[in-house]
Homo-oligomer: A and B are copies of this chain.
Amino acid sequence: MTDLKNDLFLRACKRLPVERTPIWVMRQAGRYLPEYRAIRKKADFLTMCKTPELAAEITLQPIDLIGVDAAIIFSDILVIPEAMGMHLEMHEGSGPVFPNPIRNEADAKSLKDIDPSIDLKYVLDAVALTKKELNQRVPLIGFSGSPWTLLSYMVEGQGSKNFSNVKNLIYSDPKLAHNLLDKIANAVSLYLNAKIEAGANAIQIFDTWGGILSQNDFEMFSLRYIEKIISEIKQKDIPVIVFAKGVHFSFSRLAECGADVIGLDWSMKIGDIRKEIGDKVALQGNMDPTILYAGHERIREEAVNILQSFGNGSGHIFNLGHGILPDIPPENLKALVKSVKEESVAFHSQ
């Protein structure tokens, strides 16, 4: 399929036979690693994203230290709104803030079309450099937020409990909401195509806030723009993963959005979802991230539970149901990776 030494992840995305189940975990290049925190001490978060050498170094840490089967480029979903002209601040503790959120037509007009090769060159450089340093060991995943999730941040301006502002927008001015979603979707398409050209072997679209929408609204305000983006990805052999956290009632629709892989949070049994849609797409997930607080035996037990729930055959990429938490001991993630590598062989013997 490629010149990669380990292409288990890519094969599992396409539901091709594998010798064992591949594993990577969301936020694997993150704060739980002392090696990450050492870099973070010297540079703030946005500087880390915008300095290709640092982004590449961080991206590689879990490959070297933990032994996962895929790398995911270190970056942030909010680089797109920033490239569209929004001023982005990272506040220690409380997270990212847009001091001038988009609330009306005049605000919307301030957003510019992006040229990723200029406006997001630092990400493309980081992808290219990481690819070089990975030296074909494992595939590299590029990612983006979904248009709905990006719009939520852009309208709220910061983390939100009830998402009152963005919900208000879609109910009071659906036309403006759709215009904005369309504009963001165009930017995301350009960005993901550029990332693929720079060397990304797969793409993950994070719809972190899809789950705050009712089923109809999810399809209307989120899924249709995810579909648009996927249809605009030029290299059709590049696997696309859609992770819509908290979206529980649209699996059959999700399975038809054009993605190769659907990510699952930890609230469902992966075997149930495989029965529902697993002949159409591969599945990624779905261990409760907090299980990594437990002892190594309990971690192995839970890994086996999930492998058993999925059952025999390819089409499963092991992952957590959400990002790894910052206070997890790296040894516990290592124990999980070891368990999945050892225990999953039995599910691929036929």
Residues in A lying within 8 Å of B, measured CB to CB: 162-164, 167-168, 171-172, 211, 213-217, 246-249, 266-269, 272, 288-291, 293-295, 298, 305, 325, 327
Contacts and interface: CB of A to CB of B under 8 A. Distances in A.
A327 to B, nearest CB: 6
| Most chain B CB atoms below 10 A, which of A162, A211, A247, A295 | A162
Contacts of A249: 248, 267-269, 272
A268 B213 CA distance: 10
A213 B289 CA distance: 11
Contact of A267 (B163, B246, B305): B246
A336 to B, nearest CB: 13
Instruction: Work out how many copies of this chain go into the complex.
Output: 2
A293 B164 contact: yes
A36 to B, nearest CB: 18
A290 B163 contact: yes
Contacts of A305: 216
Contact of A293 (B172, B216, B288, B295): B172
Contacts of A246: 246, 267
B162 A290 contact: yes
Given A214-B288, A248-B249, 12 more contacts: A162-B289, A164-B290, A164-B325, A167-B293, A168-B293, A171-B291, A171-B293, A213-B267, A213-B288, A214-B267, A215-B269, A216-B305
Contacts of A272: 249
Nearest to A162: B325
17 contacts: A162-B289, A164-B290, A164-B293, A171-B291, A171-B298, A213-B267, A213-B288, A214-B266, A214-B267, A214-B288, A216-B305, A246-B246, A248-B248, A248-B249, A249-B267, A249-B269, A249-B272
